[in-house]
Amino acid sequence: MPSAEHDAIVEMLGDGPFASDGGQLDVPRLRSEMEAATAQSVMPEGWLGEPLEVGIVPAEWLSGPTADESRVLLYLHGGGYLLGSIATHRALAARIAEAAGIRSLIIDYRLAPEHPFPAALEDSLAAYDFLLGEGLEPEKVALGGDSAGGGLAIATLVAIRDSGRPHPGPCVALSPWTDLEVTGESVDTRVDPMVGGREDLVATASLYLNGADPRTPTASPLHADLTGLPRIAIQVGTAEKLLDDSTRIAETIRAVGGDVELEVFEDLIHVFQSFAPHVPESLEAIEKLGSFLERCL
C-alpha cells in the first residue's frame, strides 16, 4: 500500500493540475501552473545551481559538497515537451545526482509549440557535445529524465548511436513517455492526476510533432532500433497512465539483447519521485537510482 504521504498528495492533486479542456491545451496556463506547483521544491542541503549557456539554451550546473565532478548526470525535464524548466526540475535532478555522488547538468531545452520536434532532441545532443567538449569521458556522462524527458533521454541515446558519437554511460528514465502515438492500454485503464487523458496526450504529442510521424524513432523511442544502447534503469508506478510506455520499451530492449532494469512500484502515480523529500517511496526510489548510477559510472 502507498504511504499516507503519497495518498495525501494524490488527494490534493484531485483531477490533476495539468489536464486540458477536452484536448484543448492552454499552454501558457499549464506552464504557469506547473511552475507554481513546483515552487516549493528545494534542493538537497548544500547543493547550488550555477547558470550557464549550453549551445543556444540556458542550463545549470547542480553540485554539492560531495559531488564527484568527473561524473555527470545530463538531466532532461518532463512536461510533455510543452511545459517544465530548470526551475521546475532542478530539485529532482539534484536529488538523483546527490544519491549517486555526482553532479548534474540540467538544460532548458526548447519547448513546443514554439519549437517543435526535433528542437528538444537537437538541444539534448548539443548538451552532450558540450560535456564532451569540457573534457568529460563519454562513459562518465549519464543521461536521465522524467516523463517526456525520460523518453527524450532514450531518444538521445538512439541519436548518439546513430550519429557515431562516443557512447555515453548509463541512463535513468522515470516514467518515460516513449510512445507519442499513445497506444498503451494503461492510458485508459489507470486514473492518474499527474497525466491527462488520451485526448490530452494526443493533443500534446500533436503540438510537439507538428506533423511529424508519431512513430519517428527519435520522437517515440518505443519504435526505434534499441540495439547497442547503454544500460538503462526505468522506474514506473502501476497507477500511471503511461505504465505501458515503460513496460513495453523494457520488453523491446530485452528482446534485442539490451541491458535494462525495470522497477515497477505498486499503486504509485506518475513521476512520484518528484515528491521527495516528503514521500518515503520517493526517497527510496531516488536512492535506488543513485545506486544504479554509482555502479554503472
Q: Which amino acid is at 230?
A: P
**pLDDT of 23-74, one tens digit each?**
689 999 999 999 998 988 999 999 999 999 999 999 999 999 999 999 999 9
User: Residue 135: what pLDDT?
Assistant: 98
Sheet of 232-237: strand order equals 48-54, 57-63, 102-107, 68-76, 141-146, 171-174, 232-237, 260-265
Write the burial class of residue 266 (CB in 10 Å: 0-12 exposed, 13-18 middle, 19+ buried): exposed
Between CA 18 and CA 297 the distance in angstroms is: 35
Non-local (6+) Cβ contacts of 217 within 8 A are 155, 158, 223, 224, 225
Please say if 266 is a catalytic residue.
Answer: no
Q: Which of 41, 220, 270, 282 is catalytic?
A: 270
How high is the pLDDT of residue 23? 64
Residues of the chain with pLDDT under 50: none
Taking alpha carbons only, the member of 272, 271, 274, 249 closest to residue 262 is 249
Whole-number pLDDT of residue 274: 97
* Catalytic hit among 104, 147, 220, 246: 147
pLDDT at 24: 83
- Model pLDDT, residue 15: 66
* Cα 101 from Cα 237, distance rounded (Å): 25
Do residues 126 and 156 lie in contact, with contact meaning Cβ atoms separated by under 8 Å?
no
The answer to whether 240 is a known catalytic residue is: yes
Q: Is 278 a catalytic residue?
A: no
Q: CATH: 3.40.1160.10, 3.40.50.720, 3.40.50.1820, 3.90.1150.10. Which one for 4-296?
A: 3.40.50.1820
Phi, psi of 115 (to 5 degrees): -135, 85
Which residue of the set 60, 240, 274, 281 is catalytic?
A: 240
